A and B are shown apart, each in its own frame.
Chain A
Amino acid sequence: MSLIQLQGISRVYGSGPAAVHALRPTDLSVEEGTFVAIFGASGSGKSTMLNMLGLLDEPTSGNYLLEGRNVAKLSDADRSDIRCRKIGIIFQSFNLFSHFSILENVCMPMRFAGVPRHEMHERAAELLDRVGLGSRLAHSPSQLSGGQCQRVAIARALANRPAVLLADEPTGNLDEKTGDEIIGIFHELVAEGHTVVMVTHNAEYEKEVQRIIELHDGNVVRQ
């Protein structure tokens, strides 16, 4: 059984002649433990695809099976719960909480999952240590470089041991060398059995990943 199975998933904004077909009915599956890249130009539907996979948006039609469970038509509360426990999201501009320390940032998803305080702090420290920031737990995001911020974001995404990591242009705000370091972390995670789905428009990463999905005008043109 595939970790992720999309069956005829589509997303249409608006209706009638003005309707925009951001994503046309698509079948897709992602196996556990793979590093997948979604390529496409701006407006190709790759962000819509990521929103679908991340349960941030509801599909117009079709089924989304995550670990075999259809999550396409759940209530907001259930979808929030799945986002919390099963999905780890990494953003292009990190989206860290600037008022909180990086430790607190990593704790945030665990708070939503109701992890006990002591356990939460322990795991957050462990995860930050693992991305090389173990000595800076009390620092605020503004005291860190872009690459370090993205490492915090990765630690945060891993907090609740999600089934899949979704990364939206994770290297878009970083220089080439730092970007490569982030990709390196993803490689390590995949080697440990994690599943990473990364949206990017940078064709250079084609050789880095195990699987490529390419979108064009809302259609999957390569997979």
Chain B
Amino acid sequence: MSFFYNIESTWLSLKHHAFRSLLAMLGVVLGVAAVVGMLAVSEGARVESIERIQRQGVDNIILHSEEPQANQTGGETIYFYGITREDIDHFRTVFDNVKKVVPIVELRKTIYANGKPTDVILMGAAPEFLALSRSKNADPRGRWISESDGALASQVCSVGVDAARQLFGLEDPLGKTVSVYGATFEVVGLIENPLKSKLAGKYDINNLVYVNYETLLSIFNRDALNVEADYVYVQVENLAYLKNTADRVRTYLNETHELPDYTISVPYELLLAEQATQRIFSVVMGSIAAISLLVGGIGIMNIMLANIYERTKEIGTLRALGAQRRTILTQFLFEAVTLTGLGGILGVLIGFLIAVLIKYTAGMPTIVTPGSVIVALAVSILTGIIFGTNPAWKAANLSPIEALRR
């Protein structure tokens, strides 16, 4: 029997029972649409969260200084806390697998530009911060703050592109000055972070003013600063030993700090946790998909059994004219697989639509991956084979005289 005949006969049968066929397909259509739609949402969420974490740098351990709460200090107010220069030196000199230690201190004072107060924040950063944050010089005439700026305590700063706009509007920022808490800094450079990352996951890197860390500490003393460093990036050499290094940092800080005046965040660990969550999510989605396709498959089986019951006489006639059992089997299996295959295609299209709708109405990122489409189609065809086999087998094994009697 030719393949062409199977297509023709299936087409005529589906056309003859168009509404019924559509109803039969519905289970598979909705199942596949749900799977494709949900996978698009989860993939979108996954990619977004991983990007967010990666923007903080997966090879970093980030330390934050935290003001101890009154209940932890016995009611005493602590004026000075957090990660110290001593800690930073210790990480730099004693620890192995450490590539760079980049301290950043925040000056919690208002910046004035052209005599007017602004909302821009000033950071004292070690010069390695530019490379670490994957930022770049945005103006060839300018430069980033240097090691020698620290050694000479030069009162110069480099500003992020968004900060420059806030401070000076459309004017050229290079050569201009900003003043903070009695000190004046000349703008010598402009930087941009193309990834639009955030410092310690908190401040937009493009919207900060940077002074050399050493300069800041030498100009402002303890009446302006409560900490020696607000954030410390510890960048590791080898990602494979990152967990080990993080554990050693934890142990060291735990032993040297009496009060819990710091927190540690490890983006890589967050990434791993995120990936584990995603795996669980995928398993749950897979189960939902399996159930919906099972329901869809049962619908197909039901309709195929009804078809065969209705077409018993036709099957008997085919057999009387000389059709082999396997011809009948192939024909009905082909019909079942066509139903689920068409259902799968329709489902993928609706799934795409769902993904687009979610993107534009709920504002959630969605990504339909080719893999999810292929899996959805393959599973719907497999559903047709699994649930079509029994009805097709029944049809093929009808006794010709029994079938003709109807």
Q: Are B323 and A112 in contact (CB under 8 A)?
A: yes
Chain A, range 82-131, C-beta contacts under 8 Å to B = 82-85, 87, 89, 91, 95, 97, 99-100, 108-109, 111-113, 117
A156, B321: Cβ atoms closer than 8 Å: yes
- Given the interface pairs A51-B401, A56-B400, the reply to whether A112 lies near B321 with Cβ below 8 Å is yes
Taking the closest CB of chain B, its distance from the CB of A75, in whole angstroms, is 10
CB contact under 8 A between A111 and B320, given known A56-B401, A100-B12: no
Q: Known contacts A56-B401, A57-B401, A111-B5; is A83 also within 8 Å of B322 by CB?
A: yes
Contact string against B for A residues 32-62, beta-carbon threshold 8 Å, 1 for contact and 0 otherwise: 0000000000000000000100101100000
User: What is the CA–CA distance of A100 and B15 in the complex, to the nearest angstrom?
Assistant: 12
B318 at the interface (CB under 8 A from A): yes
A95-B317 contact given A56-B401, A111-B1, A111-B2, CB 8 Å threshold:
yes
Select one of A77, A89, A99, A100 contacting B321, CB under 8 A.
A89
B311, chain A: closest CB distance, angstroms: 10
A85: chain B residues within 8 A (beta carbon): 322
Q: Does A81 contact B (CB under 8 A)?
A: yes
**With A51-B401, A111-B5, A112-B1: A77-B324 Cβ-Cβ less than 8 Å:** yes
Q: How far, in Å, is B322 (CB) from chain A's closest CB?
A: 2
Q: Is A76 an interface residue (CB 8 A)?
A: yes
In the assembled complex, how far is the CB of residue B283 from the closest CB belonging to chain A, in whole angstroms?
Answer: 45
Counting residue pairs across A and B whose Cβ atoms lie within 8 Å, the total is: 65
Which residues of chain B come closer than 8 Å to A156, judged between CB atoms?
A: 321
Task: Tell whether A80 is near chain B: CB-to-CB under 8 Å.
Answer: yes
The answer to whether B323 and A56 have CB atoms under 8 Å apart is no
**Residues 1 to 31 of chain B near chain A (Cβ within 8 Å):** 1-2, 4-5, 9, 12-13, 15-16
Q: Which of B12, B313, B317, B318 has the most A CB atoms < 10 Å from its CB?
A: B317
Residue of B nearest to A77 (CB): B324
Q: Does B46 lie at the interface of the complex (its beta carbon under 8 Å from any beta carbon of A)?
A: no
Given contacts A57-B400, A95-B314, A112-B322, 20 further A-B contacts (CB under 8 A): A54-B320, A57-B401, A76-B325, A77-B325, A80-B319, A81-B322, A85-B322, A89-B321, A95-B320, A95-B404, A97-B314, A99-B15, A109-B322, A111-B2, A112-B321, A112-B323, A112-B324, A112-B327, A113-B322, A117-B4
15 pairs, A vs B, C-beta closer than 8 Å: A51-B401, A54-B320, A56-B319, A56-B320, A80-B323, A80-B325, A81-B322, A84-B323, A95-B317, A99-B9, A99-B16, A108-B318, A109-B322, A112-B322, A117-B4
